[in-house]
Chain A
Amino acid sequence: MTRYIIRRLLQAIPLLLFISIMIFVLANAMGDPLASFGGRRRIRSSDRERLTRQLGLDKPITVQYVVWLIGNDWMDIDLDGDGVAEVKGSRKGVLRGDWGKSFMEKRPVSKLIAERLPNTLLLMLVSEIVIIIFSLIIGIYSALKQYTVTDHAITGLSFIGYSMPIFWIALMLMYLLAVKFKQWGLPYFPTVGKYDLSVGPTIEQVAWHMVLPVASISIISIAAYTRYIRSSMLEVINEDYIRTARAKGLTERTILFRHALKNASLPLITLIGLDLPLLLSGAVLTESIFAWPGMGRLFWNAAQDTDIPVLMGVLMLISVAVVVFQIITDIVYTFLDPRIHYD
């Protein structure tokens, strides 16, 4: 098992390198990072030249990538543009934990991400818990009542659920639960931000502000998961070992949760493992709609300004998360299904 994990981790290294090269080339082709530097004013050409040199953008893209990866403190760079390289570089590179500085905010990327990541994780984990609880309840119920009216209704609704664009769900929820509730004099949900600036970031405030974003994120996934759980439960319920368990006189509850659910949860584990890191990206839309200060918005703002270090930081973090979660998923599999061996 240890050998398997080590092998998987070693395999991940070239993959991540490949991803970083691909994204680096694309991010550099996105546009001119200096275009939004002066705000509304156009920057002077002498300033532009100086900035290009300072940010290292005058170098060929291969050199820029190497600097991003392993830093430039081993080479001399030419800051004043007289053609003589005189100053030692100060960047350490990603491999030594230096993610570079944001072009726009002039602050380290790691700081920017560290500020936003907890907000996104909070949104993501709460959503994932909501998704798992609701989809398990609905999926199992639907499987136990196969071919009844309720089952058909659930199947129909789940199709509708995952055919909806996420921002449209968000708009509908905002319209109903915030705008209309306010008009009707009911307690209404806030639509933007993480907390009221006048009250401050108390737990109730944050929880209250999370309701709409979490609901929007969850609905699509609940719909998709419900169908998976329903079909894998149906498959398991007809197995011989369930009949055996019944014959032994176990209670329905034990059969359902100890025997059926454990086996039916395998596809669910894969789904969660692949989806968790992807929720980070779904956050781009939800976070921009609900003005939630998370990674998705950080990425979106960086994309608008072509802020390459921030883009690279966010995307690499997500890629690492995807790769790591794939490995974790495969390992969790062996615990749930002892028939699976990796050697």
Chain B
Amino acid sequence: MATANDISWEDGSPTGRPPQSPVQLAWQRFRRHKMAMVGVGLLLSIMLYVTVGALVFTEDYSNRNDLSITLQPPTAAHPFGTDGTGRDIMARTIYGGQISIIIGFLAVLVSVCVGTSVGAIAGYYGGIVDSILMRMTEAMFNTPQLFLLIILGKMLSGKIPTFQFLGRSFSGSVIVIIGVIGLTSWMYLARIVRANYLALKEREYITAAQCLGTPNWRIISRHILPNTIAPIVVSATLGVASAILSEAYISFLGLGVQAPTATWGNMLDQAYHHLDTEPWMWFFPGMLILLTVLAINFLGDGLRDALDPRTQR
């Protein structure tokens, strides 16, 4: 029976195996990247923590006030201690973690959609469209993100009521924060995507597609986009890390997700007042933010090396 090994390949690969696809090559490089593997492991453990933990504690438990046990240091019953209204901090880091991670991913989804569309349209059409879109990008780029976050966060806070989703109730501010973070972080990606579109649209295969009468939107989405996916994936991955940090920053300033929904960020909101006497209140949520962001940064670094071996850091 003829197997793949029996076929002689024209490129004379010494192993006699079929040549590997770019995805397989990238996967190999990724697996050899030690830090990326540590990142994957760390991220999986955090995911397990926030999902399996949710099976142990109910959400009601994480939001239940018990005024007889306020501000207790870590004990066997409450491994991470309790907060100012007697809520179990471990249970809150579990449910808060789910929200923080969801915010991270959805905010990046918003930012990737906006960034890719702006970059693609500007790069592909060029001319006046390009000028207007890029001036807009530059204007937002030149205003520090934290300031935009504060302004937009204050502008939209309280505008969306609490809503039910999958049988749980979420504060409307979750939606606001996702939108605000997404809309203030797309500029860098838009620039990269635009540069790629500028270069790729001059290639022969695009001219060929245009001659065949392929509509522009199809060229943008089906012919050029797949060839610029690597930087988008890398920047999206690293974007999740900075979105989680952004959530923590504006929650720390009190403009983030509002009660009853917990996030790692808003658990740190009042940390300042508990600095010296109740360090467990801010230590654990902060540590989880650090570990998650670290894991995603490791992962993103590995992805960059794997997907884009030409770029040197």
Binding site for B on A (CB under 8 A): 14-15, 18-19, 22-23, 26-27, 29-31, 159-160, 162-168, 171-172, 174-175, 178-179, 191, 227, 231, 235, 277-278, 280-282, 284-285, 288-289, 299-300, 303-304, 306, 311, 315, 318-319, 322-323
Contacts and interface: CB of A to CB of B under 8 A. Distances in A.
Main secondary structure of the interface of B (DSSP, over half): helix
Nearest to B252: A167
A231 B312 contact: yes
Interface string B232-256: 0000000001000100110011000
B249 A19 contact: no
B147 A281 contact: yes
**Which of B139, B248, B275, B286 gathers most chain A CB within 10 Å?**
B139
**Which of B151, B293, B294, B297 gathers most chain A CB within 10 Å?**
B151
B282 A300 contact: no
Nearest to B142: A322
Q: Which 4 A-B pairs have the closest CB atoms?
A: A281-B144, A168-B286, A163-B294, A163-B293
Given A165-B249, A167-B249, A285-B253, A175 B139 contact: no
A14 B138 CA distance: 11
B79 interface: no
Given A280-B144, A281-B144, A300-B150, A159 B286 contact: no
Interface residues of B, number: 41
13 contacts: A19-B139, A26-B148, A26-B151, A30-B154, A163-B241, A165-B249, A168-B286, A171-B275, A174-B275, A179-B275, A281-B145, A289-B272, A318-B147
B150 A165 contact: no
A319 B271 contact: no
Given A167-B249, A285-B252, A288-B253, A15 B297 contact: no
Given A164-B290, A280-B144, A285-B146, A171 B297 contact: no
B147 A299 contact: yes
A288 B249 CA distance: 12
A343 to B, nearest CB: 22
Contacts of A171: 271-272, 275, 282, 286
A31 B154 contact: yes
A306 B154 CA distance: 9
A19 B143 contact: yes
A18 B268 contact: no
B313 interface: yes
B146 A281 contact: yes
Contacts of B35: 159
B152 interface: yes
Interface string B139-170: 11011111110111011000000000000000
Contacts of B298: 159
Contacts of B252: 165, 167, 285
A311 B152 CA distance: 13
A164 B252 CA distance: 14
A227 B289 CA distance: 22
Contact of B139 (A22, A31, A299): A22
Nearest to B291: A163
B10 interface: no
Contacts of B241: 163
A176 B313 CA distance: 35
B294 A160 contact: yes
Contact of A284 (B146, B154, B282, B294): B146
B11 interface: no
Interface in B261-313: 268, 271-272, 275-276, 279, 282, 286, 289-290, 293-294, 297-298, 301, 312-313
Contact of B297 (A26, A159, A299): A159
Nearest to A28: B155
B135 interface: yes
**Which of A168, A235, A323 gathers most chain B CB within 10 Å?**
A168
B143 A165 contact: no
A174 B277 CA distance: 12
B253 to A, nearest CB: 7
Contacts of B286: 165, 168, 171-172
Contacts of B140: 22
Contacts of A23: 143, 151
Contacts of B151: 23, 26-27, 30, 303, 311
A320 to B, nearest CB: 9
B146 A282 contact: yes
Contacts of A323: 142
A18 B312 contact: no
Contacts of A311: 151
Contacts of A304: 154
A124 to B, nearest CB: 13
A300 B253 contact: yes
B278 to A, nearest CB: 11
A267 to B, nearest CB: 10
A162 B312 CA distance: 20
Nearest to B248: A165
Interface in B107-142: 135-136, 138-140, 142
Contacts of A29: 155
Given A31-B155, A227-B313, A303 B290 contact: no
A18 B135 contact: yes
Contacts of B272: 171, 289
B155 A26 contact: yes
A167 B241 CA distance: 16
Contacts of A191: 275
A318 to B, nearest CB: 6
Contact of B289 (A165, A231, A277, A303): A165
